[in-house]
């Protein structure tokens, strides 16, 4: 039993290999989050552009300006105005924009959590 002695730097070698594996995993997470961030920004731009086009194409813009141009009529017929606004609102496009914003925020969170672990030098290079 006395003939079996572990190498003196075995602990350092093991810790270094663990740190390198953690760093590699953090870099992969960071890269995936960066690609997702880029995709969500592009998706958000296109979905917002399409949402604005749909808002102008629908009667939502007309009903919304009616609220500010004739408040007396709106206060009298507020239920009809609210129903007209709700019916002309492009709900699916708003949901698409909110999904893109959610993905954008989630990828930013992952990037913020992994940036330190991904690019901090290990114990010894």
- List, for residues 40-66, the tens digit of each pLDDT value: 999 999 999 999 999 888 888 888 888
* Residue pair 51/69 in contact by the 8 Å Cβ criterion: no
* Residue pair 62/81 in contact by the 8 Å Cβ criterion: no
Please report the pLDDT score of residue 125 as a whole number: 46
| Two tokens, residue 60 | 């939502």
pLDDT band at 118 (very low <50, low <70, confident <90, very high): confident
Please report the pLDDT score of residue 2 as a whole number: 67
Please report the pLDDT score of residue 8 as a whole number: 77
Give percent above pLDDT 70 in the chain: 94
How far is residue 87's CA from residue 83's CA, in Å, rounded to a whole number? 6
Each residue's pLDDT tens digit, 6-28: 787 888 888 889 988 999 999 99
* Residue pair 34/111 in contact by the 8 Å Cβ criterion: yes
Each residue's pLDDT tens digit, 56-106: 888 888 888 888 888 888 888 889 888 988 888 899 999 999 999 999 999
Please report the pLDDT score of residue 110 as a whole number: 92
* Residue pair 55/19 in contact by the 8 Å Cβ criterion: no
């Amino acid at each position: 039993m006395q003939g079996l002695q572990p190498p003196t730097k075995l602990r350092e070698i093991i810790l270094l290999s663990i740190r390198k594996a953690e760093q590699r995993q953090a870099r992969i997470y960071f890269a995936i989050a960066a690609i997702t961030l880029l995709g969500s920004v592009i998706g958000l731009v296109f979905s917002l552009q399409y949402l604005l086009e749909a808002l102008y194409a629908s009667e939502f813009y007309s009903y919304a300006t009616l609220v500010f141009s004739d408040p007396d009529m709106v206060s009298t017929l507020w239920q009809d105005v609210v129903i007209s606004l709700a019916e002309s609102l492009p709900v699916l496009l708003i949901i698409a924009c909110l999904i893109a914003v959610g993905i954008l925020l989630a990828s930013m969170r992952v990037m913020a959590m992994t940036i330190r672990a991904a690019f901090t030098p290990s114990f010894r290079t």
